[in-house]
Amino acid sequence: MTEARGSAAPPARHTPGTPCWVSLMVHGLAATQEFYGSLFGWEFVPGPQQLGPYVRALLGGQEVAGIGQLPPDRRLPVAWTPYLASDDIELTAETVRLCGGTVGVGPLDAGDAGRLVIGSDPAGAVFGVWQAAAHLGTSVAGVPGTPAWHELLTFETVSVAKFYETVFGYEEEPVGSADFDYVTLHVGGRPVAGLHGVGHTLPRDRGPHWMTYFEVADATDSTRLLTDLGGHVLRPPHDSPHGRVATVADPEGARFALIENPG
């Protein structure tokens, strides 16, 4: 993570290319709700059921994220998936294919909420695309319990950055360092996500994947609570230029990061 994160008042409708939602598919929906409810203070309401049982997480009555239940026979990696906004999901899906990516699901109607695609980039990292209708996406940011940043961990950034730039129209800002492979993606001059090339230090059981950072009031306290709730600490809290950060996993193994806002 190398850039400032969003503002406390996101726009009512997300600009194409910006992360607008984050969703998690798990095997134990009830236990996962209990875990994240205790960790972040989320409450839950039913969401679209097109892909099976699904709930939306609320913070202070505002939508933050979604959690769904995988079919019993699907042994997919459990992972948080960011959704990137689109005004024309058919065109976005076709561009994903033309640029060497894969469309695994959709375009699919999610009731009156909107339309979705689940795809992967040429290196295999999974992401979603969302064309909003009634459901605009995450409606609160900048407070504990909300997504603060999305970062792709991949082998190298050059080719994959070109993919995301072509599909979503991003402007790129490489980090000027010979030994640090990082590109920040911008929309309208604002940083919205990062690409981090880490070579062969990627986890062998994961490969390239997106990582969501959730804001917390105190990284040390939140990490301690996460452990008490059955989660796992992959990298303990440590100082960074953007606050204290910890890399963690929930009880089903979904990896994410906790970031303490230095302000």
Per-residue pLDDT, 12 = 60
Is 24 within 8 Å of 70 (Cβ atoms)? no
Report how far residue 156's alpha carbon sits from residue 191's, in angstroms, rounded to the nearest whole number.
19
Report how far residue 175's alpha carbon sits from residue 181's, in angstroms, rounded to the nearest whole number.
7
Report how far residue 109's alpha carbon sits from residue 150's, in angstroms, rounded to the nearest whole number.
25
Report how far residue 206's alpha carbon sits from residue 208's, in angstroms, rounded to the nearest whole number.
6
| Beta strands 126-132 and 80-85, pairing class | parallel
Encoded amino acid at 167, one letter: V
Per-residue pLDDT, 251 = 97
For residue 94, the SS3 value is: helix
Per-residue pLDDT, 11 = 45
Encoded amino acid at 128, one letter: G
- Residue 138 has which token pair? 């995450």
Task: Tell me, rounded to whole angstroms, the distance of Cα 140 from its chain centroid.
Answer: 15
Task: Tell me, rounded to whole angstroms, the distance of Cα 72 from its chain centroid.
Answer: 24
**Per-residue CA distances from 140 to 7, 11, 240, 263 (Å):** 9, 10, 24, 18
Let me know if 104 is exposed, middle or buried by CB neighbors in 10 A (0-12, 13-18, 19+): exposed
Stated length of the chain: 263
The tens-digit pLDDT sequence of the chain (263 residues) is: 544 344 444 446 788 899 999 999 999 999 999 999 999 999 999 987 777 899 999 999 999 999 999 988 777 778 999 999 999 999 999 999 999 999 999 898 888 888 999 999 999 999 999 998 877 888 888 899 999 999 999 999 989 999 999 999 999 888 767 678 899 999 998 999 999 998 888 877 788 999 999 999 999 999 999 999 999 999 999 988 778 999 999 999 999 999 997 66
Per-residue pLDDT, 139 = 86
- Report, in this order, helix, strand and coil percent for the chain, each rounded to 5: 20, 40, 40
Measured at the alpha carbon of residue 253, what is the angle toward residues 261 and 81, in degrees to the nearest 5? 65
Closest CA to 107 of 130, 132, 84, 82: 130
- Residue 197 has which token pair? 């090339």
Q: What is the pTM of this model?
A: 0.91
- Residue 28 has which token pair? 């134990």
Encoded amino acid at 5, one letter: R
Per-residue pLDDT, 263 = 60
Per-residue pLDDT, 6 = 41
Strand partners, 255: 249
